Structure 1
Amino acid sequence: MREWLGSDLPTFSEKEKEFIRNKIEFIGLNHYTSRLIAHRQNPEDIYFYQVQQVEIIEKWNSGEKIGERAASEWLFIVPWGLHKLLNYIAKKYDNPAIYITENGMDEEDDQSATLEQVLNDTTRVSYFKGYLASVAQAIKDGVDVRGYFAWSFLDNFEWAMGYTKRFGSVYVDYKNGLSRHPKASALWFSRFLKGEAAENKADTN
């Protein structure tokens, strides 16, 4: 890193060095997806991957996708990736308290779908089940996970994608006074938090 960046690297005073040595209170982790990576000298990709000299891989050697893709091209459903990441943080940084501050997936804003269809977000239910199971396993492994925040409660404006992607567990009808309708994932989460969620993984009602 010093060889590549040289004088671009920041310098710290002794006082600053002492300050950043203090133990952190917690780590806030935003996590959505995982990829495989490999070293590549000149990746044909966006600039920050070129600087890092990494290739981002979405498939296994067999050609199979690493996971089902959500609406965004970058977001694959890979629950085991969160389990590995939580254990890595615990091992690398002396098991700090971790709050998962964002975790979720998006669906396309299908203008032709009926309200009943858009509320039946079974893929999102499976996503949350898989990722929460990975969190639970990490806790069993000894990782100090203190909290989990699903992203997101409502459909919202999503960066460059605008309103074309829907991350919410509650559907927002942009054409009819912003009325809100809980999706299947919201109903499942409600029962899950009350300890009433069905044991059957196929059940999304």
Structure 2
Amino acid sequence: MAKKKHVLKEDVEHDDSNTKNQVCRADFPPHFVFGVSTSSYQIEGGVNEGGRGKSIWDAFSHIEGKIIDGSNADVAVDHYHRYKEDIELISDLGFKAYRFSISWPRIFPDGLGTKVNEEGIAFYNNVIDALLEEGIQPFVTLYHWDLPLHLHESIGGWLNKQIVYYFAKFADTCFEHFGDRVKNWGTINEPLHIAVGGYDTGRSAPGRNHNSSIETYLAAHHMILAHAAAVSIYHSKYKDKQGGQIGLVVDCEWAEANSDKIEDQCAAQRRVEFQLGWFLHPLYFGDYPESMRDRLGDQLPQFTEEDKELLESSTDFIGLNQYTSRLVSHAKDSVEEGHFEKAQQVAKIVEWEDGEIIGEKAASEWLYIVPWGMRKVLNYISHTYNNPPIYIMENGME
């Protein structure tokens, strides 16, 4: 433990000394892309304009007590009307990439794909064209949590395998209309948080926590298949002609074992597999990690042979959202909220045994700045999944 800690402290000290020096663009390779990122529900507003249908977040945010301060995104920062100003600001700041998501209910108001909303298509065409005029690359996320409300109410949303078909139709429509200019696609942003927040703890839309031990993993299963279906369509119909790439965007808090004990080392490995392996193992190995199968048993759905064929080679890159890290030890009885967290049997800690904090604390209660944690996540992905291209899609502090 002491030796391990000494090595990590050296990393932190090295990184801290770098932050004292001024960083400029010339410090990075010419092809390195700096960008900013948003999601449709968080910024657009215009919820009842341009033919847009309702999303699960429209409904969820209006339920009393679900949002701490009672706010909603009916207007947000009014990007729907002020996108040109926003893009000018991005350009003025010197960023060369903008990652944004397309609102599914703005393209198909009921989610079913029976009739495309031309006003929605026009809006995103305008955004993309405005970006390109400023020399900014569009990085488009197809799904950043705003499921059409009708799909949730009519078929159960991500709990019904039919959602794979509807998502694929939505994705196909986006590729068709925007793919001549968009060359970087993400299918689903942070499926872990959609599954856990939406179908386990109930802290996110659609706010379900009735039967989380099953629903959490079923929703995630269908998101994995929906991702693969969208990639299959892109690869077969558009990639050669449009020349773009497509991937899945996952998130991970790096888990560092708090001691040299085997049980703590295994707990840290298990924690990472429950985060990254839950979604990346199926794409690269055709099934969930053994650590998940061992603890979840038949609560974890099975992939059919047809599913496994669909999953094979179903990502061109991995998008990574990485904010912080935790020290981890084995815990027979976890105090964490929700079935997903308890099943891992881990305790998450932010202090070393001598009381030193893992990293500088940021403004958010949960966020500690741990540069070596990001390095370890990147190395883990490279070593575990045969060195795929990786884009850091989200990182920073609040």
Q: TM-score, normalised by structure 2?
A: 0.26
Larger Rg: 2
- Which one has a larger percent helix, Structure 1 or Structure 2? 2
Higher relative contact order (CA 8 A, sep 6+): 1
